[in-house]
Amino acid sequence: MTKYLIIIIACILFASGIMFLRKLNIPTFNNIKINDVFNIFYNSNLWFGLFLNGTAFLLLLYVINVYNDISTIISIQVVYLIIIFFFGIIFMGENFTYSKLLAILFFILGIFILNK
């Protein structure tokens, strides 16, 4: 149970970090100025997003080292997809469809079958 709690927390941190990194306004390479580069590096969204993603990465490394089996890696991938699904609908305005819900239910069913 602890394994899944850490995986869920790490995946929420990953999704939150992605949301902060998506707030960055990065100009195209043919229109970039040195001032734009400094503005990117002084942007707090960059550093907070990297911090959240780095923390999530370290948590997932811990889980993989402690529970060294293939079901852990599969669980991480499935939980990450589920968290991204809900973050996309709630915070990013993606459309909810029943086919997406059915896919998520199959993922959850696969985790239960894998761990029995």
Number of domains in the chain: 1
- Inform me whether the pLDDT recorded for 50 exceeds 90: yes
| pLDDT score, position 13 | 93
CA 97 – CA 77 distance, rounded (Å): 21
Buried-exposed string 43-64: b where 16+ CB fall within 10 A, e elsewhere: bebbebbeebbebbeebbeebe
| pLDDT score, position 112 | 76
User: What is the span of the domain harbouring residue 106?
Assistant: 2-114
pLDDT digits (tens, 9 = 90+) for 3-40: 888 988 998 999 999 889 888 887 777 777 888 778 88
Q: What is the DSSP letter of 92?
A: S
| pLDDT score, position 57 | 92
pTM of the model: 0.76
Question: What's the rounded mean pLDDT across residues 95-112?
Answer: 85
| pLDDT score, position 37 | 78
- R_g over Cα of the chain: 17
pLDDT digits (tens, 9 = 90+) for 59-100: 989 988 888 877 777 778 788 888 888 888 888 888 888 998
